[in-house]
Amino acid sequence: MFYMMMRINFKTILVILVVAVLSSILTSWNGCGTGYFFRSGHHHRDRLANVEPGYQEIDCNINGGYLISCRREGDEVYIPFSFIHKYFEIYGKLVTYDGLERFEWLHSYSKIVSPKGRYDPRGVFMTFENYNVEVRERVKCVTGLDGVPMSTQWESQGYYYPTQIAQFGLSHYSKNLTEPEPHRKILEDGDKIKQDWLVPQGSVMSRPYDVQTNSYVLKYASPETSTSGISLSLDHVLSFVLKLDLSIKDNGSITVLMQHREKRDFYHLHYTTTNIPLQSLNNHIYYGIGSTNNLWRRLTRDLVVDLQKGLSFNDKGKSKKLSRSKLKLLKIILNGSGKIDNVSLSTSEHMEQFYDSAKWFVANQNVSSGGWANPVRRKVANGMGTLDPGWYSAMGQGHGISVLSRAYYHSGEERYLQAAVRALKPFRIASSRGGVEAMFLDKFVWYEEYPTTPSSFILNGFIYSLVGLYDLKTIASGKDSLEAQELFDKGMLSLKNMLTLFDTGYGTTYDLRHFTLKTAPNVARWDYHSTHINQLLLLSTVDSDQVFGITAERWIGYMNGKRAAHN
Ligand SMILES: *[C@@H]1O[C@H](CO)[C@@H](O)[C@H](O)[C@H]1NC(C)=O
Ligand SMILES: *[C@@H]1O[C@H](CO)[C@@H](O)[C@H](O)[C@H]1NC(C)=O
Ligand SMILES: *[C@@H]1O[C@H](CO)[C@@H](O)[C@H](O)[C@H]1NC(C)=O
Ligand SMILES: *[C@@H]1O[C@H](CO)[C@@H](O)[C@H](O)[C@H]1NC(C)=O
Ligand SMILES: *[C@@H]1O[C@H](CO)[C@@H](O)[C@H](O)[C@H]1NC(C)=O
């Protein structure tokens, strides 16, 4: 999977650090006095305080290759942190707390969150309550057709990427369990709560009983030629997740008028019956919700996300930040004819968005193969064959299973369970033949995030697929559970045997291409390294094998600058 880079913002050359302190940190793990990169003094900090102030400029010769400017103070030499930052990929920043300014040194830019208890497939998924999938730059928009994100990562016009859709679902499920209760306000339910809609001449509105849904609903018709439509004026702030049930005729639309409270700009969000995910012209943004003719469906829209994505789309993908607190909702406008019901505004609708994801996985599965196709061409590395559109990912399958297991647990609806069980099929088919199963040295089964030839053996995607299998084996019962368990057990056996192949002694590798392609290792950046650790910590709560806890601890050490001992 791919993260946004979250490097600590490093400012210019500000800080100079004591070299002796640096070298002792760098070598503290191997506990060996030789091999200091910079060893020019052995003063203690408190002795330095007595040294006369003032310093001399001095050149540092870097491995005989080039010179940089350093400073000398007595026997001590100080090296600019900006140099150290680049040279060692060490992070640091000036911070002030307790009324004191300090320099904070960080070996890595990631953090580890220890699990609070045994992992529960009914609960939060990893640390996904912190994910905001839809605001990522490589998400074009959340479509009005399905309510799931559309990716632009590998193809700019946008496509459905199962892994991303699952992460969207799992993040909303996890947020539902961790966030405070949302504020909800029902605007109109056609029955107990009614509003004074402005119905212009030539338009009509009524609140008949709808037998299909056993509910009073709001029925309206406004000629397409109407310049104003039927409207409801509001002066609404802060809760911007719109939810409504609707059944509107072709060519109809629902428009939300928003305003920026400082800039005074107006924005029109139009939800129309087209199939075009996103169009935008000036401050008019159009989301296609597809045809709904005579069928009721629920539409859940985070208006701020829709607005941001629309404005970014206008500006050729340049990400737009809009603060929720700066926006105001002024009007809801109905155009054309149709019926609506249960119109509400909330601070969040996590379960609605979770179920949009779960329903996508049911509706978009190849029922005979059990796979969710990745509709893009993908080249993982030189020397590996290109994946043609339609490939399956063990990570996408596993994540999809994690979503569906939770949906089945939460709703009790069999269709979610059935789709999850079907999704096991590609786990038994070789990656070279359209499945996701690879073999390591003809001995250990591996589920491939990318089913490349030769195999890539990507660690994080494999573990995510195992988590999916674990979820299903836990939530399902009988033979469904056993089927998932068998795949899970085989994968865990491989992981226990192969885990340390990813250990470099100071970090981890992302995959095993150094073995299959005989190239340099693909070292995991800290984001992925910390994902590896978080995954091991999760597994250590459900499997008693010591290898997970012990390895995780060593890998955490690497993030604090420790290294494996050398000979
Ligand atoms: C979580 O979902 C339940 C419905 O399953 C809902 O009642 C509750 O308000 C939601 N809470 C949050 C924080 O989203
Ligand atoms: C509106 O919500 C009520 C209560 O949840 C439900 O019974 C009704 O069917 C909903 N209306 C529509 C049109 O779905
Ligand atoms: C209603 O929709 C038609 C096209 O379908 C459009 O020309 C007209 O401007 C719309 N009116 C409003 C008030 O949005
Ligand atoms: C929608 O608009 C198209 C083109 O203007 C028209 O042919 C079609 O009849 C309209 N459909 C409805 C249900 O009004
Ligand atoms: C679904 O999977 C089957 C079996 O692998 C395959 O033959 C078929 O082409 C797939 N269908 C689609 C629409 O991709």
What number of CA atoms fall less than 13 Å from residue 479's CA on the CB side? 2
Q: Which of 179, 184, 351, 409 to mutate to test the pocket of ligand 1 (most atoms within 8 A of CB)?
A: 351
Atom of ligand 1 nearest to the CA of 348: 14
Q: Which of 122-126, 226-230, 296-300 has the lowest mean pLDDT?
A: 226-230
Pocket, ligand 4, Cβ cutoff 6 A = 249-251
Atom of ligand 2 nearest to the CA of 340: 13
Which among 478, 472, 542 is positioned nearest to 117, based on CA atoms? 542
Atom of ligand 3 nearest to the CA of 229: 13
Q: What is the pLDDT of residues 307-359, one digit of tens each?
A: 999 999 887 766 667 888 899 999 999 999 999 999 999 999 999 999 999 99
pLDDT at 113: 87
Atom of ligand 2 nearest to the CA of 247: 13
Nearest-CA residue for atom 6 of ligand 5: 369
Question: In this model, does residue 453 exceed pLDDT 50?
Answer: yes
Average pLDDT over residues 10-23: 39
Question: In this model, does residue 28 exceed pLDDT 50?
Answer: no
Question: Is the dihedral angle over the CA atoms 32, 33, 34, 37 positive or is it negative?
Answer: positive
* 489 Cβ below 6 A of ligand 3: no
Question: In this model, does residue 53 exceed pLDDT 70?
Answer: no
pLDDT at 532: 98
pLDDT category, 418, cuts 50, 70, 90?
A: very high
Q: What is the pLDDT of residues 121-138, one digit of tens each?
A: 999 999 999 999 999 999
What is the average pLDDT value for the chain, to the nearest integer? Answer: 90
Ligand closest to the CA atom of residue 298: 2
Q: What is the CA radius of gyration of the chain?
A: 28
| Contact status, residue 360 vs residue 146, Cβ threshold 8 Å | yes
* Burial label, 181 (beta-carbon count in 10 A; 0-12, 13-18, 19+): exposed
Q: Which of 224-233, 333-342, 385-394 has the lowest mean pLDDT?
A: 224-233
pLDDT category, 225, cuts 50, 70, 90?
A: confident
pLDDT at 18: 43
Average pLDDT over residues 466-470: 98
Query: What percent of the chain has pLDDT above 70?
Result: 90
pLDDT at 226: 78
Q: Which of 226, 231, 285, 334 to mutate to test the pocket of ligand 3 (most atoms within 8 A of CB)?
A: 226
Q: Are strands 444-447 and 278-281 parallel, antiparallel or unpaired?
A: unpaired
pLDDT at 13: 35
pLDDT category, 273, cuts 50, 70, 90?
A: very high
pLDDT at 5: 36
Angle at CA of residue 408, ends 404 and 414, nearest 5°: 105
pLDDT category, 49, cuts 50, 70, 90?
A: low
Question: In this model, does residue 469 exceed pLDDT 70?
Answer: yes
Tokens of 59: 């050149």
Q: Which residues have a Cβ under 8 Å from the Cβ of 189 and sit 6 or more positions away?
A: 215, 216, 341, 342, 343
Average pLDDT over residues 395-421: 98
Q: Which of 153-162, 252-261, 287-296 has the lowest mean pLDDT?
A: 287-296
pLDDT category, 566, cuts 50, 70, 90?
A: very high
Nearest-CA residue for atom 12 of ligand 4: 250
Question: In this model, does residue 42 exceed pLDDT 70?
Answer: no
pLDDT at 289: 97
Predicted model pTM: 0.89
Average pLDDT over residues 12-24: 39
Angle at CA of residue 21, ends 17 and 22, nearest 5°: 70
Run of H or E residues at 358? helix 350-363
Highest mean pLDDT among 110-119, 275-284, 307-316, 485-494: 485-494
CA of 130 to the centre of ligand 1 (A): 17
pLDDT category, 52, cuts 50, 70, 90?
A: low
Nearest-CA residue for atom 2 of ligand 2: 342
CA of 335 to the centre of ligand 3 (A): 6
| Contact status, residue 446 vs residue 462, Cβ threshold 8 Å | yes
pLDDT at 17: 43
Query: Could you write out the three-class secondary structure of 510-567?
Result: CCCHHHHCCCCCCECCHHHHHHHHHHHHHHHCCCCCHHHHHHHHHHHHHHCCCCCCCC
pLDDT at 502: 98
Angle between helices 350-363 and 394-411 (to 10 degrees): 120
Pocket, ligand 1, Cβ cutoff 6 A = 176, 179, 181-182, 348, 350-351
| Contact status, residue 345 vs residue 239, Cβ threshold 8 Å | yes
pLDDT at 9: 37
Average pLDDT over residues 447-472: 98
Q: Which of 186, 193, 294, 341 to mutate to test the pocket of ligand 2 (most atoms within 8 A of CB)?
A: 341
Tokens of 223: 């000629």
Task: Determine the 3-state secondary structure of 391 from DSSP.
Answer: strand
